[in-house]
């Protein structure tokens, strides 16, 4: 009897010890999962039907506005660059590439899972892999525009050395590629084609009437995108009549000039400084 009780007590003790060990391992495993600012945003872009819905809605709106713009010879999406006497020019639209036409969430997922931040080197490797996929609704709309005789220009801050891989990636999905017109206007392709896009918009507007401008970042529409949040709001308010008409926005919660505005767009600041500035910018409930 005593031996049996001892064995039972030993079993209980061992089970308790094992339980504590398993619990400790579980807690340890949970604590080892690294945090990353982009987790929810990337998950939303890859897994949510809501993201697909917002993208399809944006392109459905663009299709309606395209018909209005074709019928109205005074319509232009880039009045600052368009100049005068543009009514008789052939029609064109301007679209951004990344997160407007091409879904690069696999790159964002790689950054998230590997605790990385954006670098030109890893971004170039990703682009050369040619594995970006279409943003929902983009292929259909751009082919529709081409079918209506509208030239599609891509103004992208992908650099010129990535153009060949970008074209090959997009050719897989049937995007309009411009025929004998160079419609891929990449950053640094010409000396005055920097990250701001007005010079490239002007390049298109010189020969075409630009009907629509479509993008996911404020810099796709205006060069006045690098100010504070308050400065950016003023510019947005000044252009309110264009939103949803000549300017069509897509959602991008993963990155953009909105993210860097709290820390003054100074990417030399350490990640902790950037995060602290973003946290300080939040307007939070006091919990009461």
pLDDT digits (tens, 9 = 90+) for 215-247: 999 999 999 999 999 999 999 999 999 999 999
Which pTM does this prediction carry? 0.88
Does residue 262 belong to any structural domain of this protein? Answer: yes
Does residue 199 belong to any structural domain of this protein? Answer: yes
81-95 per-position pLDDT tens digit: 998 899 999 999 999
Structural domains in the chain (count): 1
Does residue 17 belong to any structural domain of this protein? Answer: no
Residue 197 belongs to domain with CATH number: 3.40.50.1000
Nearest to 278 by CA among 253, 256, 258: 258
Q: Is 102 left (phi over 0), alpha (psi -120 to 50) or beta?
A: beta
Confidence of residue 1 (pLDDT cuts 50, 70, 90): very low
The pLDDT of residue 141 is: 98
Does residue 164 belong to any structural domain of this protein? Answer: yes
Residue the block writes with tokens 């368009």: 82
With contact defined as beta carbons under 8 Å apart, do 88 and 72 qualify?
A: no
Does residue 9 belong to any structural domain of this protein? Answer: no
Does residue 8 belong to any structural domain of this protein? Answer: no
Q: Is 278 left (phi over 0), alpha (psi -120 to 50) or beta?
A: alpha
DSSP for 62-127? HHHHHHHHHH-TT--S-HHHH-SS-TTSPEEEEE--BTTTEE-HHHHHHHHHTT----HHHHHHHH
CA 261 remoteness from chain centre: 16
What range does the domain containing 183 cover? 36-281
More confident residue, 70 or 18: 70
């Amino acid at each position: 009897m005593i031996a049996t009780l001892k064995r039972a007590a030993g079993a209980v003790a061992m089970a308790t010890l094992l339980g504590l060990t398993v619990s400790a391992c579980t807690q340890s495993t949970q604590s080892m999962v690294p945090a990353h600012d982009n987790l929810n945003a990337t998950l939303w872009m890859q897994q949510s039907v809501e993201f697909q819905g917002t993208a399809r809605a944006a392109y459905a709106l663009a299709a309606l506005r395209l018909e209005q713009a074709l019928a109205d010879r005074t319509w232009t999406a880039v009045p600052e660059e368009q100049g005068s006497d543009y009514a008789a020019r052939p029609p064109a639209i301007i679209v951004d590439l990344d997160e407007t036409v091409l879904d690069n969430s696999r790159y964002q997922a790689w950054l998230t899972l590997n605790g990385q931040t954006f670098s030109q080197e890893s971004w170039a490797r990703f682009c050369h892999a040619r594995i970006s996929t279409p943003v929902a609704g983009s292929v259909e709309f751009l082919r529709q525009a081409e079918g209506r005789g509208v030239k599609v220009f891509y103004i992208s801050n992908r650099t010129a050395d990535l153009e060949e891989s970008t074209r090959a990636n997009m050719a897989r999905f049937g995007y309009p590629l411009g025929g004998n017109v160079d419609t891929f206007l990449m950053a640094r392709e010409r000396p005055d084609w920097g990250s701001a896009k007005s010079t490239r918009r002007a390049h298109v507007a010189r020969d075409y009437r630009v009907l629509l401008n479509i993008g996911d970042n404020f810099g796709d529409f205006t060069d006045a995108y690098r100010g504070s949040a308050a400065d950016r709001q003023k510019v947005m308010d000044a252009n309110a009549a264009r939103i949803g008409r000549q300017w069509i926005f897509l959602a991008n919660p993963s990155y953009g000039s909105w993210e860097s505005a709290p820390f003054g767009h100074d990417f030399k600041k350490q990640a902790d400084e950037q995060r602290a500035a973003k946290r300080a910018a939040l307007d939070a409930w006091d919990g009461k």
